[in-house]
């Protein structure tokens, strides 16, 4: 028996972790050598502020009774030894195996009694990825604090996505929590993995007194990441020395971070003219790419697939492609939210801003989360800056200008949430986005997770009515020849475990439409209630009592089979309703599905029956090998969202896949996008998003530097050059049949 299996398994709060990881948490993912340099420089910068470091915990696994045995909990069956030639170094390494487990299975919890508070920590370890789940592949180091069952994230780092990945993982995090909270460190993965670990080391440094006010409760409101985020502090170590009076306000009149300079930062209204001149020069040296049809399709000499009214999909030589209305192949290189403006909540934090006095740019926002769930005021820095930059600013002319930008930058698709005026006037192909209403909720006694909205009842007649109404309102876009296809909804609260939906429906009231549909399904399957009772080991008096019962959840094999079958029907109801409504307006329009962020094994199979193209939002290092499950139909895939960000230019957050700096972002973007282009199943990938989020966050707190333009409308030329290079070469790459990450010219990129 393994020495690691004697501990009782203590699993993560999977539901909370799942949604934080997909929609909120940061993924610190750098190349091993880059990370080593970054962390060393970071600690050096902190030492200049008077912060000394010491080794707090170290484990090389050579001794069977090493220090980890007293400080960790091991999930039963998930941890064992790898010895001899199988070890990473020395004679023994740790083998973590959660393959076959769904959700976010934890293998190790370090510091089960809590990590000492009020320190800066550096953690490092060697790793080697042996196997990952086909549906996902990320491994995580998760730092959390607990209090009375509630979880609060401190840091999340990714350290391997694909089998064969190996190296040295290093990350930095800060631990400053209330005394009643316990800090722990978990090793987990997305849907299971098999990895080796070795030479774990934790170093700690005391936090300077001058920085402690940064951690006071209530100092920063409505921001996903505040200035103590480690990536941001690496680029701004002198912030530790600032008093609160010196720090506030920390946002200038253009919406930029005040206490840092960077190339291209706007310091006066006059600087905008220089930015315009720079862009004209850039565009002049990068004319629109030749050899494309009016939709952006690639014109091949002597090869055309026939004209049509709308885009369609076709498999050619084992690879999926879009086909433009002119009959040419098309791969969708896009950006989301094109033409949007960066606005940020101001209620209750007016002291953050240097100048928000112009009421013209104050708007009322009706969506939000966390600190801003109710209607609130926002300041539109994005529009404020555009109206200063462009004399006599016109929304219509700006929409046309954006189209011109896309042609020079090599962007051939406007993605989800693009401004409707841009869709209508940019003359660029687009993927249209619609969403159903948030009503028709499941009134379940069982708690289901939903980050953006609660799970809905797709059998409620109001759901179908809302779908038809939305489609009718947007018919002009769905019948436009430049519309590649349409997404319907985004990141719906699909539960990651099968049966959860069916179980929750059983706990709904008798008036719930989904429960009535389940009741009808069972009546058709079983001759009478006694047959159901025998199959489920239940005690229903009659069929009416089935509807009224809200506590009983069956556990027999046949009951699970019934619930599984109905769950598939439940999903089919959603996809069929959306597809039928869309096709009623335009039978030829392509239906892209609902932009999966979290799925269970049934969903892709069902989606592939109804969708022309299945959409996923995939924030990871690579999609080169991503594909639909084997039991799904062979349909193409489109990536609705991905990005990489950095904290080196004034915006605090580095997005869901952070990198050290702009050069690292360009490298990650290039490799990810080329991997998607060379993947035979993928027909497009859309970057999220057009403009950087505000340093103080949007209405749900997200404050990421992930834009193709910043808040002052200055293009992010390094990533734009990368996009242009990819666009010039992507059809050659896709048609070649070869796989490479060096298919575009390499160059040193600077601002």
pLDDT (tens digit per residue) in 337-361: 999 999 999 999 999 999 999 999 9
Distance CA 282, CA 284 (A): 5
* First and final C-alpha spacing in the chain: 57
The C-alpha angle 262, 264, 266, rounded to 5 degrees, equals: 95
Q: What is the pLDDT of residues 606-636, one digit of tens each?
A: 999 999 999 999 998 889 999 999 999 999 9
* β partners of residue 400: none
pTM: 0.85
pLDDT band at 231 (very low <50, low <70, confident <90, very high): confident
Could you tell me if residue 8 is inside a domain?
A: no
Q: Do the domain assignments include residue 228?
A: no
Judging by beta carbons within 10 Å of its beta carbon (0-12, 13-18, 19+), is residue 388 exposed, middle or buried? middle
Q: Does residue 225 lie in a domain region?
A: no
CA distance 150 to 20: 13
Give residue-wise pLDDT tens across range 701-727: 999 999 999 999 999 999 999 999 999
Residue 118's domain spans which residues?
14-214
- Mean pLDDT for 198-222 is 86
What counts of helices (H) and strands (E) characterise the chain? 19, 24
Measured CA to CA, the distance from residue 521 to residue 599 in angstroms comes to 24
CATH of the domain at 143: 2.60.120.260
Give the tens place of pLDDT for each residue, 527-548.
899 999 999 999 999 999 999 9
Distance CA 319, CA 731 (A): 12
For the chain, give percent helix, strand, coil, nearest 5.
30, 20, 45
pLDDT confidence tier of residue 739, bands split at 50, 70 and 90: low
pLDDT at 172 over 90: no
Beta strand 319-323 with 329-330 is antiparallel
Q: Could you tell me if residue 268 is inside a domain?
A: no
Tokens 């069902």 appear where? 606
* Residue 47 within a domain: yes
Instruction: Report how far residue 53's alpha carbon sits from residue 49's, in angstroms, rounded to the nearest whole number.
Output: 12
What is the Cα 174 distance to its own chain's centre? 23
CB contact at 8 A, 582 and 487: no
For 244-280, the pLDDT digits (tens) are 999 999 999 999 999 999 999 999 999 999 999 999 9
- 119, two tokens: 């320190």
**Looking at the domain assignment, is residue 166 inside a domain?**
yes
Tokens for 159, please give them: 């350290």
Chain centroid, CA 744 distance in Å: 26
In a domain? residue 575: no
Residue 594: inside a domain: no
**What's the total number of domains in the chain?**
1
Using CA atoms, how far apart are residues 362 and 617, in angstroms rounded to an integer?
Answer: 32
- Tokens 């499941």 locate to 442
* pLDDT on residue 240: 78
Please, which residues bridge with residue 205 across strands?
A: 53, 120
């Amino acid at each position: 028996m393994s020495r690691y299996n004697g501990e009782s398994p203590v699993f993560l709060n999977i539901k909370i972790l799942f949604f934080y990881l997909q929609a909120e948490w940061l993924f610190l993912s750098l190349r091993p050598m880059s990370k080593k340099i970054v962390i060393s420089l970071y600690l050096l910068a902190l030492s200049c502020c008077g912060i000394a470091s010491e080794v707090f915990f170290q484990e090389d696994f050579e001794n069977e009774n090493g220090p980890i045995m007293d400080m960790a909990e091991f999930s039963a069956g998930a941890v064992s030894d790898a010895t001899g030639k199988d070890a990473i170094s020395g004679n023994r390494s740790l083998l973590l195996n959660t393959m076959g487990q769904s959700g976010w299975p934890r293998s190790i919890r370090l510091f089960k009694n809590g990590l000492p508070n009020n320190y800066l920590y550096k953690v490092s370890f060697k790793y080697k990825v042996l196997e990952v789940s086909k549906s996902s592949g990320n491994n995580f180091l998760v730092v959390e604090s607990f209090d009375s069952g509630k979880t609060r994230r401190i840091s999340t780092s990714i350290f391997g996505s694909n089998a064969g990945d190996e190296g040295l993982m290093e990350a930095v995090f800060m631990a400053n929590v209330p005394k009643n909270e316990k800090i722990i460190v978990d090793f987990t993965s997305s849907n299971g993995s098999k990895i080796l670990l070795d030479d774990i080391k934790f170093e700690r440094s005391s936090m300077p007194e001058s920085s402690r006010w940064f951690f006071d409760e209530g100092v920063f409101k409505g921001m996903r990441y505040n200035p103590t985020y480690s990536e941001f502090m690496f680029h701004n170590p002198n912030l530790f020395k600032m008093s609160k009076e010196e720090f506030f306000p920390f946002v200038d009149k253009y919406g930029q971070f005040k206490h840092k300079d960077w190339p291209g930062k706007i310091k006066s209204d006059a600087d905008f003219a220089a930015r315009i001149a720079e862009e004209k020069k850039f565009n002049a040296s990068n004319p629109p790419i030749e050899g494309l049809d009016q939709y952006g399709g690639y014109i091949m000499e002597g090869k055309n697939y026939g004209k049509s009214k709308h885009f369609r999909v076709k498999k050619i030589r084992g690879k999926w492609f879009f086909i433009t209305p002119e009959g040419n192949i098309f791969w969708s290189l896009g950006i989301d939210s094109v033409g949007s403006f960066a606005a940020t909540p101001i209620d209750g934090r007016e002291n953050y801003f240097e100048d928000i006095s112009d009421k013209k740019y104050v708007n009322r926002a009706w969506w939000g989360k966390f600190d801003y769930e109710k209607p609130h005021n926002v300041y539109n820095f994005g529009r404020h800056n555009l109206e200063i930059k462009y004399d006599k600013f016109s929304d219509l002319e700006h929409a046309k200008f954006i189209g011109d930008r896309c042609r020079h930058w090599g962007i051939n698709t406007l993605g989800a949430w693009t401004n409707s005026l841009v869709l209508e006037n940019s003359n660029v192909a687009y993927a249209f986005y619609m969403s159903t209403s948030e009503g028709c909720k499941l009134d379940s006694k069982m708690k289901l997770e939903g980050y953006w909205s609660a799970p809905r009842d797709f059998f409620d007649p109001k759901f179908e009515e809302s779908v038809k109404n939305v489609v009718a309102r947007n018919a002009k876009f769905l019948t436009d020849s430049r519309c590649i296809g349409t997404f319907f909804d985004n990141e719906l609260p699909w539960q990651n475990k099968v049966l959860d939906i069916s179980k929750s429906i059983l706990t709904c009231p008798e008036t719930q439409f989904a429960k009535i549909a389940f009741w009808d399904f069972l009546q058709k399957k079983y001759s009478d209630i006694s047959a159901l009772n025998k199959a489920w080991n239940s005690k229903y008096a009659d069929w009416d009592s089935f509807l009224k019962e809200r506590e009983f959840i069956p556990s027999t094999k046949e009951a699970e089979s019934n619930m599984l079958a109905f769950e598939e029907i439940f999903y089919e109801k959603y996809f069929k309703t959306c597809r039928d409504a869309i096709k009623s307006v335009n039978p030829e329009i392509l239906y892209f599905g609902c932009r999966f962020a979290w799925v269970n094994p049934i969903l892709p199979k069902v989606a592939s029956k109804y969708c022309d193209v299945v959409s996923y939002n995939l924030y990871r290092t690579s999609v080169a090998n991503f594909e639909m499950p084997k039991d799904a139909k062979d349909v193409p895939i489109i990536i609705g969202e991905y990005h990489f960000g950095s904290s080196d230019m004034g915006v605090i957050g580095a997005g869901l896949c952070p990198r050290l700096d702009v050069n690292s972002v360009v490298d990650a973007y290039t490799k990810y996008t080329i991997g998607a282009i060379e993947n035979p199943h993928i027909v497009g990938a859309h970057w999220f998003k057009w403009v950087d989020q505000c340093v103080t966050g949007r209405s749900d707190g997200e404050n990421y530097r992930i834009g193709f333009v910043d808040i002052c409308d200055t293009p992010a030329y390094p990533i734009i050059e990368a996009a242009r290079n990819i666009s010039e070469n992507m059809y050659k790459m896709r048609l070649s049949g070869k796989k490479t990450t060096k298919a575009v010219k390499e160059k040193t990129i600077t601002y």
